[in-house]
Structure 1
Amino acid sequence: MAELMPELKTYYGNCHCGAFKFNIKVPEITSLMDCNCSICSRKGYQWVFPGAGCFTIEKGEGTLKDYEFGPKKMEHKFCPICATGVMGKRKGVQTGMDIGINARTLRDLDDIWSFKTNTYDGKALEPAYAPHPFKGPEPTADIENAEIYTGSCHCGNVTMAFKTKGPLNEGHEHIQECNCSICSRNGTVLTYPLATQVSIQTSSAPTTPYTFGRAMQSHEFCPICGVSVYIRKLSISPEHYAKYSGPQKDQKKWEGIMPINLRCFEGVEWDKIEVKKLNYKDFGVKYEV
């Protein structure tokens, strides 16, 4: 008796700004694959592989930007407007095995944290990734016996230094991953130091800003590799702040904070720190594609 083919389900996806939309037809997704390589770990990719003929572009063909590195065996495709890493296309493999989709972009996966994940050890592949050194000035915050973490986007165009009271596993900084529309797509793990605790340097290209919704802050990313690096607070009126965030007396404190993507930093004690998972999916202005 011929083996029955599993029923296919259609999943719809898009980058955050909606410039690129697509769908995939696959058996119901029950697990995802993550990879600990230098690019996947920075972008928080969660992979699914739809197979031949199962991926359809609905809008924005040709709009995604390619990023390649190392032996250039894979094109990492991200939206140049909002930074969402949508897909990867492998070279030298047969059609149907060449496309991986970032499951974070799929609108139909309500709770990506609930899925079983299988880890691929991409970090072990040669050539090993060499971190980009930070060569800028030390953050200006006056902290006794400080710990300084350095990091970068993937290509090294943006490098950063982060000064804190001690090792992150000692709990001096709030660290979170949330499921809001932008953080869930761009895979950021954020911590919220004062701006004086952070120093950011760019080399060949300034970061690209992306603003949406309440228009209170700008999500800054590297235009070359598409990695989200930090959030810049915008200059807004007290009335605007009060409407969307809270009492005006808190605005100065809010303006002094610079959220940074901890995924970009070297030496983070991931196995020892607590990353709080917060449900902000329905907070504030409702996200619509």
Structure 2
Amino acid sequence: MAITQDIVYHGNCHCGRYCFQVSAPNITSAISCTCSLCTKKGYLWLVPAEGSFTVVRDEGCLTEYRTSTLADKFCNYCGSGVVGKHLSGSLQGQFLINIRTLREPYVNPFKLESTTSAFESKDEARVRGSFPRQSMETTANHLFSCNCGDVRAEFVGSVEAEELKEDNCSKCVRTAYIGIYPSKDAVRMYGRDRVFEYLTGGKFTGATYCKTCGVHVFSNIYGPPISVFDKLPAEKKERALAVYHKNMSIQPLNVRAMNDLDLDAIRSLIKREDEGTEGYNLDLP
């Protein structure tokens, strides 16, 4: 019988303030959980063998948030959910690693979809607040919230009528982000003061995360300084400004944060870009 050699996987939150390595057989499957927190964060779990997990870098950035089902640890700088421990259900007491945070070798979550096993687990409600009654003006509304209820949004429209996008770039893959991009006029926001924001690259878009539970509900659009268009020829400037103003008028929302999400029902509507994490590098010591 051939002996299967374990692979050393290197993983980290997106900003690299928390890094680890784990030895495991070639990862070809994952575990998901139906509790509200795992659903909103899109976790794909790996249960490592005892003694196979090693912390390589820890700058004290992990915040723990607990429900009756899960003790979840996420980076309070970049929002990545990294590790957890289930407190109930068939995985009770198990230490878990979010496969989405593995960097090298990269494990494409799109390839794991058909081999992911889910188990039923329902946690107690953690929503502290409720949506104002006056905002419930139409049955077409969709409600979004983090797990603890500090950050909430109401979309007056139909998610199915919007363009749904998902990609597996280094940042989006870690938050399992599925985006819709309605106009700001169609969205009512609550709890903007209860998030931390993570900006990368040109810092034209900021992903926000609940300070308490770490769920990503919405993003902020800043765009480049409008002065960058001044150097363009008149015709190109007009077209570029039209795109700029359109982008500045949208309010991105994370579909995974939608209350009562039925992902299977909308999966066929999601447009995917399977470009992976090429070009993503960390300057590690």
Q: TM-score, normalization: structure 2?
A: 0.83
Q: Gapped runs of 5+ residues in structure 2?
A: 232-238
Matching residue's letter, 1:228: H
Whether 1:278 aligns to 2:240 is no
CA distance in 1, matches of 2:256, 2:139: 20
Q: How far does residue 178 in structure 1 lie from its aligned partner after superposition?
A: 1.0
* Deviation for aligned residue 1:51: 1.8
Q: 5+ unaligned residues in a row in structure 1: which ranges?
A: none
Task: Please tell me the residue identity of whatever aligns with 2:274.
Answer: N
Residue equivalent to 2:151: 158
Name the residue aligned to 1:33: 31
Match of 2:63 in 1: 65
Question: Does structure 1 retain, via aligned residues, the 8 Å contact 2:31–2:117?
Answer: yes
8 Å contact kept, 2:198–2:208 = yes
- Specify the code of the residue in structure 1 equivalent to 2:182: P
1:1-289 residue pairs with structure 2 within 5 A? 6-60=4-58, 62-70=60-68, 74-90=70-86, 98-107=94-103, 108-115=105-112, 116-123=115-122, 128-129=124-125, 133-135=130-132, 138=135, 147-164=140-157, 166=158, 168-169=159-160, 172-202=161-191, 206-234=194-222, 236-238=224-226, 247-273=240-266, 274-281=269-276, 286-289=279-282
Q: CA deviation at 1:111?
A: 2.0
How far is 1:5 from its partner?
Answer: 5.6
* Whole-angstrom distance in 1 between the partners of 2:253 and 2:110: 21
Q: Which moved more, 1:54-63 or 1:150-159?
A: 54-63
Aligned residue identity for 2:98: N
Aligned length: 267
Aligned-residue offset at 1:269: 4.5
Superposition deviation, residue 61 in structure 1: 5.6
Q: 1:161 to 1:110 in 2, by over 3 A?
A: same
Contact map agreement 1:74 1:89 (CA 8 A) in 2: yes
3-state SS in 2 of match to 1:271:
helix
Give the residue type in structure 1 aligned to 2:196.
Answer: T
Q: Which moved more, 1:247-256 or 1:3-12?
A: 3-12
Distance 1:242 1:7, change over 3 A: farther
| CA drift at 1:217 | 1.0
CA root-mean-square deviation: 3.0
2:154 and 2:188 in contact (8 A); partners too: yes
Whether contact under 8 Å (1:136, 1:199) holds in the other structure is no
User: Are the equivalent residues in 1 in contact too, given 2:99–2:107 (CA < 8 A)?
Assistant: no
Per-residue deviation, 1:112: 1.7
Larger helix proportion of the pair = 2
Q: Distance in 2 between matches of 1:239 and 1:180?
A: 29
2:263 aligned counterpart, secondary structure: coil
Contact 2:13/2:101, CA 8 A, preserved across alignment: yes
Partner of 2:236: none
CA distance in 1, matches of 2:224, 2:80: 26
Question: For 1:241 and 1:187, how far apart are their aligned partners in 2?
Answer: 33
Per the TM alignment, residue 188 of structure 1 is displaced from its structure 2 partner at its CA by: 1.5
| Change in 2 beyond 3 A, CA 1:6/1:241 | farther
User: Between the two proteins, what is the percent identity of the paired residues?
Assistant: 29
Cα 1:242–1:277 change in 2 (3 A) is farther
